[in-house]
Amino acid sequence: MESQIAERSAQLPQLAEPRNPGMELDLDWVAAVQANTSAIERRCATLPGRRSVKKDHQAAWLLKAISLIDLTTLSGDDTEGRVRRLCAKARQPVSSGLLRTLGMEGLTTGAVCVYHDMIPTAVNALEGTGIPVAAVSTGFPAGLSPFRLRLAEIEESVKDGAEEIDIVITRRHVLQGNWQELYDEMKAFRQACGEAHVKAILATGELGSLRNVARASLVCMMAGADFIKTSTGKESVNATLPVSLVMIRAIRDYYERTGYRVGYKPAGGISKAKDALVYLALMKDELGGRWLQPDLFRFGASSLLGDIERQLEHHVTGAYSAGYRHAMG
Ligand SMILES: O=C[C@H](O)COP(=O)(O)O
């Protein structure tokens, strides 16, 4: 069982994907973008029941999901102790016994995601592991602080060791159709990131329509986003399947037009292993297996790992452990 599961969930060797350099803002393309809400909702309604993976296949997919998690803590009461515990969990996401049984020793999460203040603690705790630290930035979650401060925040986070920066866009630019302003803002954020990869958080729950989500996705990719991400986790509606389908299809259109692969990060409210499996199936259906590697897909999640660990434990022992045993992550 072990070697088969490990084989199925194995990560490909580090792939050298060229970074999306962006392109000129193409307003005709943006204007032409449509999103057929009822068709999208119909397609999404069929997704959860459509692909059910069982037993060893399910365990393999859950292990894959772990490798794709940006293990996150974004609370006002975060402490160094909590961040160190989170990093310990990122280094060893499930118990060593389980990992040994499943033949997956050495498995880690994709990254750890924290506020700026916690970067040094996380960098320290992850030293030597190769697990990157992602920092939310630009006045997260509302993104309404003065523009020069938002740029300075990115620069400070990169200086402190964040290798990935999750920026928030100005929702007003989308709601008012100011595509040039959105493009310029995103481009400046990307520039301030330098070598650090930039994830553009659209806060889709605040964009008013799926068409706006599609257009904002496209503009951020044109401006050089490495990833597009649904939500901060602080909006009243966060990651959903319809929003994901729209963003994933925008990624596909951008790839077909430019040849550059942009990553996708659904975030906020994804806390169940079965939901994670639906997202992975959707990615595979719409974009193919290449998009199931950590350089092109992440879950932004604070509590998903705990449920995945419970499901894996059940797979191995036949019994569910109490949720509180997996409290962190
Ligand atoms: O970017 C990550 C999100 O803030 C995590 O949201 P969550 O706490 O609902 O999992």
| Residue 2 pLDDT > 50 | yes
| Residue 47 pLDDT > 80 | yes
Within a 10 A sphere around the Cβ of 14, how many other Cβ atoms? 10
Residue 62's nearest CA partner among 327, 317, 273, 288 is 273
Supply 142's token pair: 């509302």
**Of all protein residues, whose CA lies closest to atom 10 belonging to ligand 1?**
301
Active site residue 166: yes
Within a 10 A sphere around the Cβ of 6, how many other Cβ atoms? 18
Please report which helix (H) or strand (E) contains residue 135, including its range: strand 133-136
> Domain tally for the chain?
1
Q: Is residue 16 part of a domain?
A: no
Please report which helix (H) or strand (E) contains residue 134, including its range: strand 133-136
ipTM: 0.97
Task: Convert the pLDDT of each residue in 193-227 to its tens digit.
Answer: 999 999 999 999 999 999 999 999 999 999 999 99
Name residue 135's beta-bridge partners.
114, 165
Q: Say how many Å lie between the CA of residue 179 and the centre of ligand 1.
A: 27
| Residue 274 pLDDT > 80 | yes
More confident residue, 17 or 94: 94
* Residues 6 or more apart in contact with residue 241 via CB below 8 angstroms: 44, 47, 278, 279, 282
Residue type, 96: S
| Cβ atoms of 268 and 231 closer than 8 Å | yes
Give φ, ψ of 200 to 5 degrees.
-95, 115
Within a 10 A sphere around the Cβ of 204, how many other Cβ atoms? 31
Q: What is the pLDDT of residue 328?
A: 61
Q: Say how many Å lie between the CA of residue 266 and the centre of ligand 1.
A: 9
| Residue 176 pLDDT > 80 | yes
Q: Which atom of ligand 1 is nearest to the CA of 231?
A: 1
DSSP 266-279: -BSS---HHHHHHH
Please report which helix (H) or strand (E) contains residue 113, including its range: strand 111-114
Q: Say how many Å lie between the CA of residue 66 and the centre of ligand 1.
A: 15
**Of all protein residues, whose CA lies closest to atom 4 belonging to ligand 1?**
233
**Of all protein residues, whose CA lies closest to atom 8 belonging to ligand 1?**
302
Q: Is residue 313 part of a domain?
A: yes
Q: Is residue 49 part of a domain?
A: yes
Within a 10 A sphere around the Cβ of 9, how many other Cβ atoms? 22
Q: Which residue range forms the structural domain that includes residue 81?
A: 2-9+22-326
Task: Convert the pLDDT of each residue in 228-238 to its tens digit.
Answer: 999 999 999 99
Average pLDDT of the residues in 318-323? 74
DSSP 8-68: HHPPPSPP-PPP-------HHHHHH----HHHHHHHHHHHHHH----HHHHHHHHHHHHHT
Q: Which atom of ligand 1 is nearest to the CA of 269?
A: 9
Active site residue 64: no
Q: Is residue 14 part of a domain?
A: no
| Residue 117 pLDDT > 70 | yes
Active site residue 159: no
Q: Is residue 17 part of a domain?
A: no
Q: Say how many Å lie between the CA of residue 80 and the centre of ligand 1.
A: 19
Q: Is residue 15 part of a domain?
A: no
Q: Is residue 298 part of a domain?
A: yes
CATH number of the CATH domain containing 128: 3.20.20.70
Indicate which residue of 64, 187, 199, 229 is catalytic: 229
Task: Convert the pLDDT of each residue in 284-317 to its tens digit.
Answer: 999 999 999 999 999 999 999 999 999 999 999 8
Residues with C-beta less than 6 Å from any ligand 1 atom: 72, 74, 113, 232-233, 267-269, 300-303
